[in-house]
Chain A
Amino acid sequence: MSEDLEFAFALVLSGASIGLMYSLIALGFVLVYKATDAINFAQGEFVMLAGMIVVSVLGFAGVPLVVAIIVVLAAMIGFGFGLERVVLRPLLGRPVVAVIMATIGIAAMLRGLGPITLGIETRALPLPIGDEPIVIGPASLPPIQVLGAVVAVVFFVAFSWFFKKSRMGVAMRAVADNQQVAQAMGINVERYFAIAWAMAGIVSAMGGIVWGSMLGVDVQLALVGLKVFPVVILGGLDSIGGALVGGLIIGVVESLAAGYLDPYVGGGTKDFAPYVLMILVLMVRPYGIFGRRQIERV
């Protein structure tokens, strides 16, 4: 393989693994949107909160990682249920804009109060996976990226099974499809709304662990959430497979832009290219690659 090709391969591989980690977070967003039609602008803050809970629990001497993971899962599930009950349920039936602004309010609250209560300074989240880069062909990846990608794929398989086969998942699809009909068939719609938020909490907990381990845990961790929007717009807001594909595309585009364009413009294209791509998608195909073609145009 020539040197150029090797460089491109390394960029694509690294981008794809980061992209899978994006799709893990995007999954939380999609789950909520699919079931409840609510747009969660606080997804990144969920991830930040989960990361902060993990490092805070680990901060007590002698607490093993497994316990911390159990604690954070329980905490985020409780948080999801609570949030749905206190904030989202009173807003049912209100305009989309009200729900958007409420989640922006949640984001601001978490970003403001999270660091005060759980620690302001940047802390490392060590995972027992070593530092040796994993070599794949001509490229090598840090183990945390590989782990993140694996976790993402596992979650996708699990959620695909959940929605296809399990009773709860089928009920949830029914709720997503048509709330009134679902209610008429005896499905407790509000309960499934709460479950959707709790599942977003679970996904964010895992996202918080892998992203927190990669970037370190502080308030900046919430900025990961901004990358969710290009991913879900590209993949389609209500498609789980779309989140996976969208994440891969955004990750690769970002990595290629950073590799090839950064030398010319002096860095930072990584934070720029996904949004340009997103604007293009919004202009041409706003429902994304796999999304339902149900967009009201006026």
Chain B
Amino acid sequence: MFHRESGVFKTTYSADMALYPLPIAKWTVVVLAAIFVVIIPLAVHEYYLSILNLIFIAIVGALGLNILVGYTGQISIGHGAFMSVGAYTAANLAVRLGLPFWITLPAGGLMAALIGVIVGMPSLRIKGLYLAIATLAGQLIIEWTINHVPAISGGAQASIEVGRPSLFGVSFNTQGHLYFFLLFFAVLAIVATLNLVRSRVGRAFVAVRDQDIAAEIIGINIYRYKLLAFAISSFYAGVCGVLYTYYFGIANYEQFQLIVSIDYLAMIIIGGLGSVLGSIFGAIFVTLLPIAIRIFMEDVGSLFFTQAEMANVISGLRLGVFGGLIIFFLIVEPEGLNRLWRNIRSYFRVWPFSY
């Protein structure tokens, strides 16, 4: 946020690694908490709450993918499938055994982590493009398996309906209730990731990304850390899938197809690879973009297209704009929105003087 570092002299490593780098950051967090916990739920209409809810879910998934791609430098085109693993695990546990969400949620995450480690196994032997292709195969095989094994997919149309989560007899039925439910997990994911990346494990991830041979020489077991990155990342993806399932009330493999993997890649590229704030920006941007396109097309597009064509046009335009933005950010601003934010912040840090 807009605070100045003047007069803050760090003298120990632990001070440098602290979760709050500056004293004022605590107050920023308090203000943000007040806005999100008190003001927004009271002041905002249900429809906007539902958009915020989608953003919260996307934040969890984007953080997970960013740990793998942004911090560890391994690519995955299979995150949509990991989400579906989490979603179906939770849906089966919730419907067949009647388990509550605080069991199904970690169970879905752990199952996704297990599958993620198996799909990530080739990363021990291969990297770069081979890994991309291997995870693509993982995505397609998992999609196919869920679609063709009724024991997992619940038979008809490969979808399982799930009730809303409840805690202490309170059911999270409305968007307002779900808001708090999802906010909790989004904040949990953010704090967990912030803590992860400043820990030994997070720094090992970055070392593997920057120069894997050097990392091995300074004593980082890269096999272990690559698999750990896949496990943590898919755990997030699994949790994200479970949250989608509870949010929509249904687990359906069509929600988690290849295109979802690309959406999440778009999020972290647009937001900023290797940055927590970037994942949040990306999740917000990519969730809002289709809504903006829909509103725009409903006003302007009706001049050119009939009502029947509109649905196809909107989904096509959404995909096209995503693709264009991925390319644009890769070429022009590889560090994404996070970099733009940092530029703005460092401008104001010394404002009104130029330096």
Contacts and interface: CB of A to CB of B under 8 A. Distances in A.
The 4 closest A-B pairs by CB, nearest first: A112-B319, A109-B323, A112-B320, A108-B323
B319 A297 contact: no
15 contacts: A41-B132, A91-B331, A95-B128, A97-B128, A104-B262, A105-B323, A109-B327, A111-B320, A116-B313, A266-B148, A267-B148, A271-B144, A272-B141, A282-B137, A286-B126
A113 B318 CA distance: 9
Interface residues of A, number: 49
Contacts of A271: 140, 144
B254 interface: no
B326 interface: yes
A229 B139 CA distance: 13
Given A98-B330, A266-B148, A120 B312 contact: yes
A98 B128 CA distance: 10
A102 B330 contact: yes
A265 to B, nearest CB: 7
Nearest to B137: A275
B316 interface: yes
Nearest to B315: A112
A296 interface: yes
A278 B312 contact: no
Given A101-B330, A265-B148, 16 more contacts: A96-B128, A97-B69, A97-B73, A105-B322, A106-B327, A108-B320, A116-B312, A116-B313, A120-B312, A268-B144, A268-B148, A271-B144, A279-B134, A283-B122, A297-B125, A298-B216
Contacts of B75: 97, 100-101
B207 interface: no
A279 B320 contact: no
Contacts of A104: 77, 262, 265, 323, 326
Q: Which of A102, A266, A268 has the most CB of B within 10 A?
A: A102
B130 interface: yes
Contacts of B327: 87, 102, 105-106, 109
B125 A286 contact: yes
B319 A108 contact: yes
Interface in B74-103: 75, 77
A96 B130 CA distance: 10
A289 B309 CA distance: 47
A268 B140 CA distance: 12
A282 B330 contact: no
A278 B77 CA distance: 16
Contacts of A286: 125-126, 130
Contacts of B126: 282, 286, 295, 297
B222 interface: yes
B140 A226 contact: yes
A120 to B, nearest CB: 5
A107 interface: yes
B213 interface: yes
Contacts of A116: 312-313, 316-317, 320
A135 B312 CA distance: 41
Interface in B207-241: 212-213, 216, 222
Contacts of A296: 127
Contacts of B216: 298
A110 interface: yes
Interface in A262-280: 265-268, 271-272, 275-276, 278-279
Nearest to A297: B125
B176 interface: no
B303 to A, nearest CB: 15
Interface string B7-24: 000000000000000000
Nearest to B132: A100
Nearest to A90: B331
A78 interface: no
Interface string B313-348: 101111111111111001100100000000000000
B317 A112 contact: yes
A282 B130 contact: yes
A24 interface: no
Interface string B114-147: 0000000010011111101110111011001001
A298 B309 CA distance: 50
Contact of B129 (A39, A87, A230): A39
Given A100-B129, A115-B312, A282 B319 contact: no
Contact of A282 (B133, B313, B317): B133
B269 interface: yes
B141 to A, nearest CB: 5
Contact of A109 (B144, B222, B320, B330): B320
Contact of B127 (A120, A229, A298): A298
B119 to A, nearest CB: 9
B324 A101 contact: no
A109 B324 contact: yes
B326 A108 contact: yes
Contacts of B147: 268
A293 to B, nearest CB: 13
Interface string B293-324: 00000000000000001001101111111111
Q: Which of B141, B147, B327 has the most CB of A within 10 A?
A: B327
A233 interface: yes
Interface string A112-131: 11111000100000000000
A115 B330 contact: no
